[in-house]
Amino acid sequence: MQRSIRYAILVATMLAASGGAGRAQGQTISPYVIQKISLPGSALNYGEGINNSGVAVGGVDAGGALSTIFLSAAIFANGQVSGPGILVGYTGSYDYAINDMGQSVGWAIKLLGLYPGPTQVHAVLFVHDSAQDLGVLVRTGNSTAYAINHWGVAVGSADTVDSSHATQFTFATHSVKDLGILPGDRSSVAYGINAYGLIVGSSIDTNGIERAVSFAPGPVAQLGALPGDFYSEARGVNDQGQAVGYSSSLRGPNHAVMFSGGTVTDLGVYPGGKQSFAAAINNFGQAVGSGDIDGGFYHALLFQNGQVLDLGILPGGQGSSASGINDQGDIVGTADDGQGVWAVKWTLAHHSIGPVRTLAAQ
């Protein structure tokens, strides 16, 4: 569940950043068109993943409770928003990633007592309007799934006896596998998996230092960091084995990076900005994430061919973040418009036919 909380914090930061700082000046006009793909009537929506058919997933606050326990997993397709199902006895859910077979993964949450009391969270596979429990490593533990490949193998994290470890969930065989940690570390998490079973994420030591790693095939291995940096994290990986995430020093800024062939490449920041993060990469090497614009609000960014492009924001808004990209270049993420927080989709302008269609009642 940590990823959704991270994005909620990011959106809050976008709204509050720089006090009275205005919109960045002198921005290059983006070739992308942004549109809301959110649930009408809900002022809190998140976009997370997108497949090659343009179907996106995320989460919505359908009841206006502004609480994780009452979020609902959402599928955004053809201008409509639907729920992919929920586990019996669970009150909330969230969807992180979707493959080309229409299988998506995330979590479901339920109260173990009175609200706001302790909760239980289980990794979930959403398919054919149903929710299937992907399981846990220990009977009373929690689990979350963050990514799924074309073969229906999911990865995320699950509680162990005294920590949490990166985990592989294979629903077809009803298996849950502990992917391990770096020697001497205390915990780990897997964020990405490609079609060939390469799994990436991070391993965290006893001092809380996070290092980007690969989990499979083979033993847990470090992916590295930029020279002089202490922290790194791998968030997404494509079928060419290129992974993206971030690297940072002890007190310095974060930079979006690519991990490939034993090399860590700085993807850069937006001109005038100081920080950037990469969240996903497609099979053509296009990466997306977010970063500050001239030291002010965070905007969704596209990293390609050594360039950093500002994907822009909604009218009236101040910030945005991108979390998924497909092989057609469609991008999904989250943005505000001064009235709420919305799941959004960026599409290349020359792919759009006529005016962008928005959902009714928005």
Sign, CA dihedral 241-108-289-50, equals positive
Q: What is the mean pLDDT of residues 300-310?
A: 96
Which percentage of the chain shows pLDDT scores above 90?
76
pLDDT, residue 358, reads 33
Residue 120: pLDDT above 50?
yes
Residue 66: pLDDT band with limits 50, 70, 90: low
Residue 22: pLDDT above 90?
no
Residue located via tokens 């979020």: 71
The full DSSP string for 91-130 is -EEEEEEE-TTS-EEEEEEEESSSTTS-EEEEEEEEETTE
Collect all residues with Cβ–Cβ distance below 8 Å to 114 and sequence separation of at least 6.
none
Which tokens go with 72? 């609902």
> In whole angstroms, what is the distance from residue 87 CA to residue 328 CA?
33
The full DSSP string for 10-55 is HHHHHHHTTTT--PPSSPPPPSEEEEE-PPTT-SBEEEEEE-TTS-
With contact defined as beta carbons under 8 Å apart, do 319 and 329 qualify? no
With contact defined as beta carbons under 8 Å apart, do 236 and 259 qualify? no
pLDDT, residue 16, reads 38
Residue 300: pLDDT band with limits 50, 70, 90: very high
150-194, pLDDT tens digit by residue? Answer: 999 999 999 999 999 999 999 999 999 999 999 999 999 999 999
Cβ atoms < 10 Å from Cβ of 230: 15
Residue 34: pLDDT above 80?
yes
Q: What is the mean pLDDT of residues 286-292?
A: 97
Give the CA-trace dihedral at 310, 251, 156, 108, to 10 degrees.
-80
Which percentage of the chain shows pLDDT scores above 70?
88
Q: What is the mean pLDDT of residues 271-298?
A: 95
Q: What is the mean pLDDT of residues 28-41?
A: 85
Residues, the chain:
362
